[in-house]
Structure 1
Amino acid sequence: MSELTTAPTGAYRLEATNHDGSYLGKNVSADKFASGKDSGFAFADILFAIDLGTEIVLGDAFPEWRGNLYDIALLPDMSTLVQWKPGVDSVIGDFWLKDGTPVPICPRNMVRRLVDRLAGLGYTATVAVEIETTLFEESIQEARARGYRDLTPLGGDTGSTYNLARSQDWIDYMEAVVARLDELGISWEAWTDEAAPGQTELNLAPADPLGVGDAWIRTKQVMREIACARGHSVTFMAKPTAGFGQGAHVNLSLQRDGVNQFYTPDGPSELMLSAIGGLLTTMAGATAVAMPQITSYRRLVDLSGPPTMISWGINNKTAAVRAITGHPKYSRLEYRLPGSDVNPYYALAVVLAGVIAGIERQLPAPDEVTDMAWCLPDDAGVRRIPDTMSKAIAALDADEILREYLGDEFVDFWVASRRWEWMEFHTKGGDPYTELSQWESKRYFEFS
């Protein structure tokens, strides 16, 4: 990290995400940055009222700060300042209102607020994320010309897992990505071949939630830039082809005075069980946030990797929440619900909200699923994860716990925006009866 301690030179890139997780910002001169780094930079609030097709979203009650093209301020967090390339520094910021309060649905500020609430209970969270993405041989320009369809997976058109025998073009791409992350000071732990053709998983190192959210959005941008520079394309769609989907698993542990509070020698601690109770109690409602796009729900197929049941189990990767126990450092929960198209900050926010609710309300964990959690019969006592956007919207709208922890304004806003997304799909060319429609490819390939 660098500090702005001398006369400014070069240019600065302001970075943030909107509700859809799009990577937004402005490029400003050094003088402009110096004049606004403490007071903030003006952005029209319409950025929270347009969809991925640049249509104004209607259907919810716009508050005073949204819908009238008023300015809100992006206030840079100087701890995130890095040199992106020679002559250009970049910095991540949060959105604030004129009265000095945070925009209620600002993704980064939501994480900050929940981290503070957790701290009030005496805990700090350590999180990590596993990012899945799919790489294609074609350039982004050719992908556009093809409507993002019938592309050639980079590294071969057969799928595998952990396969080191991928072709050199796939390996070269991933080596270039992690080299760039090293340059930017983004800590990563591993990358590997994943199940689908052209698919990879990249694991970011554990850190505090805000830091991981920042690293996550920058890692996605790095992967896009490296792909473009090498004449390839990359997508974070939850299901970019008719094959396997791709997720973004969030791992979390809680510490007090540096000691992992999820650890006991003989299984989950009571705190871990409360966290599980909160995560499963809120999972149906959280689905609308963790799986934000139409294509997200095409990923929920039994026996294909993603969870399909609201379930947990010790070291059970077929469950929605996997508990890793018995190790003083590595005991943690793996929240396997989010798709790779999720807004990183919102993903972290719904996980933190569930965990905090479980602790504050002492919510009991349901019975552990000790067998395969896919294809469970109706009489197994385990509910299915909402498998359509409309079901997930209804669950979130009715979830009083998430309304408390995420805020009524966010929930009402998100419900309205997802209803709009559903309507756009059904009125502008989406086809629910295909494995993947042209409408989805065009809308989500580049900006998920």
Structure 2
Amino acid sequence: MQAADVRQWLADNGITSVQVQATNLDGTFIGKTLSCDKFLGALDQGVAFADVVFGNDLGNFPILGVAFPSWRGELEDIFLRPDLGTLCVWRPGVAAAIGDFWTSEGDPVGVCPRNLLRKVTAQAAELGYGVTAAVEIEATIFEEPVQEARAKGYQGLTPLGGTAGSAYVLGKSADWREYLEAVEERLRSVGIAWEAWNDEAAVGQVEVNVPVGDIVDVADRWARTRQVMREVAYELGHSVTFMAKWSDAWGQASHLNVSLADTEGNAFYSPEGASEVMRHFIGGVMAAMAGTTSLALPFITSYRRLVPLEGPPTTITWGHHNKSTAVRAVTGHPAYSRIEYRLPGSDANVYLVAAAVAGAGLYGVINRVEPPAPFAGMAWGLPEGSVEQVPATISQAAAALEADKILPEVLGEEFVTYWLGTRRWEWIAFHTMGGGDLDAGLTAWESARYFELV
């Protein structure tokens, strides 16, 4: 759409304000609400945001101890350019558009999550591939309104729907169904495609599935679906968290399904099983997996989820149709052949994980990287030293990313260097701002920092 078309669209839909939307590095949904005239005037240059968008942590402290890129350090403005393909009616009278961050000189901000994913998809297009994806969103809903949850320090909350902790239970209380049916209705009204929702393993836990599509569009829908889940919870007097581990109950994930498409269809499909393209894609993904862990498990609490036999992968393995491995290869179907990347927690920024996984996979295709042998059997509870383990802490994952040779090439040195600084800052924040003993179980500091913002 051109500016005149946008003005007419706003008028036709009775829009009086526009919300511009994005995520920061930590996956927090951020933005501004603009008048229609302000939005129309910002279509070319973008909407100004202070560089603290990517310069402050979740406690709103400046992140220090890392070299400042050119766009950071003087509270300089960076600009969110709306992607008009994402323009929608968010609620009556309010429109919304997702965007990417650019500098005042017109260069893409190198740490903008959506920019990074778009960069990878552009590379895929040059190779003749489209990148398709689907994502599973897990969250826990609580009976208490968010104001009460805050007053309680997010402790001692009552999971919504009763005490049943077995997956796929339909015998839930009416308030649980009311919440998810309201989410479903809101997603329809916004025009966000969804595929399924269900009870998950832990009490109060739900899963909402974003169906397959272009990987950037799917990441947009992931971000917006989570915001819808928050808004509906607040409107119904509940609270919700996407923490990977909000208590000693089972953790929460964001499984990412990825495949490549070419002019003949699914490039991962072969009648014999995995195609050559799929094999090399897995080769690249596996070669970068230790380093990608820092993106897939971004916070202190993320690593509390890595409990064997509770679902998340704990080893750097892949296997055919094997859900105990970190990468499950689904083969033998012309439409559904894909990899399921099972490592990310529900607190991961899907734009970043998708960019890393798709980028590493393309690196494998370009360089014909052969994967290790597929793992057969259960990949949990193995003898120590028999197979490489997923990095077990935020610091171990940062060290693995620093040693990685693929991701700096895929995502850029600026991003990788800056991300490493932010994760090391997160470790410092935990140990100096009240986190306490990492081995003593989930801390009040973690709940206060992550419950609402990840």
Normalised-by-shorter TM-score class? over 0.9
Determine the structure 1 residue equivalent to 2:343: 337
d(CA) in 2 for partners of 1:359, 1:77: 30
Mapping of 1:188-203 within 5 angstroms? 188-203=194-209
Superimposed CA distance per residue, residues 369-427 of structure 1 (whole angstroms, 9 cap, x where no aligned partner): 110011222353x2100011110000001111111111111011010000000011011
Tell me the residue number matched to 1:4. 6
Normalised TM-score (structure 2):
0.96
Indicate if the aligned counterparts of 1:159 and 1:197 stay in contact, CA closer than 8 A. yes
Instruction: Output aligned runs, 1:32-43, within 5 Å.
Output: 32-43=38-49
User: In the alignment, which residue of structure 1 is the partner of 2:192?
Assistant: 186
**2:233 aligned partner:** 227
Whole-angstrom CA distance in 2 between matches of 1:113 and 1:387: 30
CA distance in 2, matches of 1:435, 1:121: 47
Amino acid across the alignment from 2:413: D
- Deviations along 1:29-55, whole A, 9 cap, x unmatched? 111111111221111112111000000
Which letter maps to 1:308? Answer: T
Kindly provide the amino acid, as one letter, of the partner of residue 165 in structure 1: G
Q: 2:143·2:237 contact (CA, 8 Å) conserved in 1?
A: yes
* One-letter identity of the residue aligned with 1:301: V
1:397 aligns with 2:399: no
Correspondent of 2:89 among 78, 83, 87: 83
Equivalent residue, structure 1, for 2:178: 172
Return the alpha-carbon distance in structure 2 between the equivalents of residues 25 and 349 of structure 1: 22
Aligned equivalents of 1:41, 1:135: Cα separation in 2 = 34
Q: Does 1:411 align with 2:416?
A: yes
Q: Taking structure 1 as reference, are residues 258 and 205 closer, same or farther at Cα in structure 2, changes over 3 Å only?
A: farther
- Tell me how far apart the structure 1 counterparts of residues 88 and 61 of structure 2 sit (CA, whole Å): 33
Alignment partner of 1:44 is 2:40: no
d(CA) in 2 for partners of 1:166, 1:320: 31
Of residues 283, 296, 299 in structure 1, which corresponds to 2:302?
A: 296
* 2:165 equivalent to 1:135: no
Distance 1:47 1:5, change over 3 A: closer
Residue type of the alignment partner of 1:159: G
Residue 136 of structure 1 deviates from its aligned partner by 0.5
Q: Tell me by how many angstroms 1:208 deviates.
A: 0.5
Q: Deviations over 1:49-93 (max 9, x none)?
A: 100000000011112211210011111101100011111111111
RMSD (CA atoms): 1.3
Q: Name the CA distance, whole Å, in 2 between partners of 1:438 and 1:351.
A: 32
For the pair 1:368 / 2:374, whether they are aligned, the reply is yes
For residues 107-150 of structure 1, give each alpha carbon's deviation from its aligned partner in whole angstroms, at most 9, with x where no partner exists: 10100000011111111111000011111100000000000011
Q: Does 1:426 align with 2:431?
A: yes
Q: Which residue pairs with 2:118 in the alignment?
A: 112
Identity score, percent = 53
One-letter amino acid matched to 1:16: A
Q: TM-score of the superposition, structure 1-length normalised?
A: 0.98
Distance across 2 between alignment mates of 1:368 and 1:344: 25
2:74 corresponds to 1:68: yes
Measured in 2, the distance between the counterparts of 1:16 and 1:54 equals: 17
Deviations 1:267-308 (A, max 9, x none): 111111111111111010000011111000000011110000
> How many Å apart are 1:243 and its aligned residue?
1.0
Give aligned pairs, total.
447
**Greater shift after overlay, 139-148 or 163-172?**
163-172
Distance in 2, matches of 1:258 and 1:162, equals 37
1:122 aligns with 2:128: yes
Confirm or deny: 8 A CA contact 2:281 2:364 kept in the other structure.
yes
Question: Which residue is equivalent to 1:28?
Answer: 34
Q: Secondary structure at the match of 1:284?
A: helix
SS class of match (1:433): helix
In structure 2, the residue matched to 1:208 is 214
Is the 8 Å Cα contact of residues 274 and 365 (structure 1) preserved in structure 2? yes
For 1:390, give the aligned amino acid: S
Displacement of 1:5? 4.1
Amino acid in structure 1 at the alignment position of 2:135: V
**TM-superposed deviation, 1:258:** 4.8
Give the match for residue 62 of structure 2. 56
Deviates most, 195-204 or 259-268: 259-268
Structure-to-structure mapping, 1:195-344, within 5 angstroms: 195-344=201-350
C-alpha distance in 1 between matches for 2:426 and 2:106: 31
2:390 alignment partner AA: I
Q: Does 1:146 align with 2:152?
A: yes
* Deviations, residues 130-186 of structure 1 (Å, cap 9, x unaligned): 011111100000000000011000011331111111111111111111111111111
Unaligned runs of at least 5 residues, structure 1: none
Matching residue's letter, 1:435: G
Q: Residue in 1 aligned with 2:163? A: 157
Moved more, 89-98 or 31-40: 31-40
Whether contact under 8 Å (1:59, 1:416) holds in the other structure is: yes
CA contact 1:46–1:68 (8 Å) conserved in 2: no
> For residues 193-237 of structure 1, what are the alpha-carbon distances to aligned partners after superposition, in whole Å with 9 as ceiling and x for unaligned?
100100011110111011011101100000000000110000000
Contact between 2:245 and 2:305, CA under 8 Å: does it hold in 1? yes
Structure 1 stretch displaced more, 428-437 or 363-372: 428-437
Q: Name the SS of the counterpart of 2:118 in structure 1.
A: helix
